[in-house]
């Protein structure tokens, strides 16, 4: 994985001089990440903390910097190794919920984020399962030093809806990197049998989706995955639903924070099902890690949801999510920003014990 716009490159690795070179180079990358000196295409590749994190006290800021430093160092050492990249195509390096004994569910409570668990539906779906995604679909050539999402983020686009899609993918990428490195409980709902799904852009080559998931989850013990009932649906099969509910109740989570893609599609299916079967005042949708399909947004609407620097205008984005939910489901989703315990758009108090 590349950070700050730099590709993974092999640096001298033998002898004291090689080790000193690597240490100095890593600190330079960290410094550039913090100072905003990254090489830009039309969007920066540098890892940034999720929205509202690191903006508090000096201690919180220092902790955030430490997590980002950990990500940078892993991405430019462990994940820059060609052997690791090869292994990342073979199997997921995080645990499948179906393989975890129910008696161990309560142990995951130590990873709750202030009492919350995150559930992400179909991460990076646009890049891997949309034939119109602006990224090379060659999965059988030489190994690329960058994963597919990084290549997607670097690909120039002209339309506002495409720029919004890139901003959304980067926001979720950074969130997964950060939360997995900070050991917060994240449950990924991946498309079932995606390897054979006709819309999977890499089904005839290396499993680029698996590599991406492995890179952004960092082999973290706090990240678990399960599968949706179908590759294009946000619902879960009966057995997986039971496991997910049991895990959430066993950890005594105070809130379930939902994101992923797409608003108006799979994300809605998951959210509305959970709302019917879970305590309503403990379920939230997180705009910062949610995505709207470029097929569902005009360029003029996308313009209003983008800041001049290419990041997402969360107030406008949240209003768009609200309008889509109301028009489709006649309900208003509960929106909550990361790290602030409040709704984005309309304020709601933190959930009580």
The span from the CA of 284 to the CA of 247, in Å, is: 18
- Name residues whose C-beta falls within 8 Å of residue 235's C-beta, 6 or more positions apart in sequence: 228, 229, 269, 270, 273
DSSP 186-246: EEEEEPTTGGG-TT-TTTTSS-HHHHHHHHHHTT-TTEEEEEBSSTT---B-HHHHHHHHH
DSSP 8-state assignment for residue 335: B
Q: In the prediction, which pLDDT does 45 show?
A: 73
pLDDT tens digit string along 279-317? 778 889 899 999 999 889 999 999 999 999 889 999 999
Q: Are 172 and 124 in contact (CB under 8 A)?
A: yes
Q: Convert the pLDDT of each residue in 141-173 to its tens digit.
A: 678 889 999 999 998 888 999 999 999 999 999
Query: 334: pLDDT confidence band, cut at 50, 70 and 90?
Result: confident
Asked whether the beta carbons of 118 and 191 are under 8 A apart, the reply is no
* Distance (Å) of CA 293 to CA 61, 110, 127: 33, 34, 11
Strand order in the sheet with 116-121: 95-96, 223-227, 186-190, 116-121, 255-263, 283-292
Residue 103: the pLDDT is 98
Distance CA 45, CA 42 (A): 10
Least reliable range by pLDDT among 15-29, 39-53, 60-74, 318-332: 15-29
Domain residues of the chain, as ranges?
90-329
Cβ–Cβ < 8 Å for 293, 264? yes
Element (H, E) at 259: strand 255-263
Q: Which residues contact 101 (CB under 8 A, 6 or more apart)?
A: none
Q: Note whether 320 and 292 are within 8 A (CB).
A: yes
Q: What CATH class does 90-329 carry?
A: alpha beta
Question: What is the pLDDT confidence band of residue 216, given thresholds at 50, 70 and 90?
Answer: very high
Both tokens of 121, joined, read: 């539906």
Q: How confident is the model at residue 71 (pLDDT cuts 50, 70, 90)?
A: very high
User: Has residue 56 got a pLDDT over 70?
Assistant: no
Q: Under the phi-then-psi rule, with left for phi > 0, alpha for psi from -120 to 50, and beta for the rest, what region is 323?
A: alpha
pLDDT at 95: 98
Considering the entire predicted model, what is its pTM?
Answer: 0.82
């Amino acid at each position: 994985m590349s950070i700050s716009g730099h590709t993974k490159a092999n640096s001298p690795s033998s002898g004291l001089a090689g080790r000193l070179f690597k240490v100095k180079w890593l600190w330079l990358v960290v410094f550039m990440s913090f100072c905003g000196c990254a090489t830009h295409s039309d969007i920066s590749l540098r890892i940034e903390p999720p929205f509202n994190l690191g903006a508090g006290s000096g201690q919180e800021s220092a902790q955030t910097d430490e997590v980002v430093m950990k990500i940078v160092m892993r991405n430019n050492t462990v994940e820059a190794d060609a052997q690791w990249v090869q292994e990342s195509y073979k199997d997921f390096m995080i645990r499948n919920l179906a393989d975890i004994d129910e008696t161990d569910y309560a142990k995951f409570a130590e990873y709750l984020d202030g009492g919350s668990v995150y559930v992400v539906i179909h991460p990076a779906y646009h890049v891997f399962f949309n034939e119109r995604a602006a990224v090379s679909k060659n999965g059988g050539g030489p190994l690329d030093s960058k994963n597919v999402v990084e290549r997607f983020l670097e690909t120039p686009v002209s339309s506002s809806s495409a720029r919004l899609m890139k901003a959304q993918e980067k926001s979720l990428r950074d969130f997964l990197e950060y939360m997995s490195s900070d050991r917060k409980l994240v449950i990924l709902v991946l498309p079932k049998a995606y390897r054979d799904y006709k819309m999977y852009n890499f089904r005839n080559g290396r499993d680029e989706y698996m590599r991406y998931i492995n890179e952004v989850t960092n082999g973290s013990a706090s990240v678990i995955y399960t599968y949706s009932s179908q590759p294009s649906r946000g619902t879960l099969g009966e057995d997986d639903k039971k496991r997910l509910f049991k895990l959430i109740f066993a950890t005594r989570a105070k809130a379930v924070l939902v994101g992923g893609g797409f608003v108006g599609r799979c994300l809605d299916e998951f959210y509305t099902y959970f709302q019917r079967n879970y305590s309503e005042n403990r379920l939230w949708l997180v705009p910062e890690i949610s995505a709207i399909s470029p097929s569902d947004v005009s360029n003029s609407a996308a313009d209003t949801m983008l800041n001049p620097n290419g990041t997402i205008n969360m107030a406008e984005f949240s209003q768009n999510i609200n309008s889509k939910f109301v028009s489709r489901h006649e309900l208003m989703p509960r929106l909550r920003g990361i790290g602030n315990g409040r709704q984005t758009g309309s304020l709601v108090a933190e959930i009580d014990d």
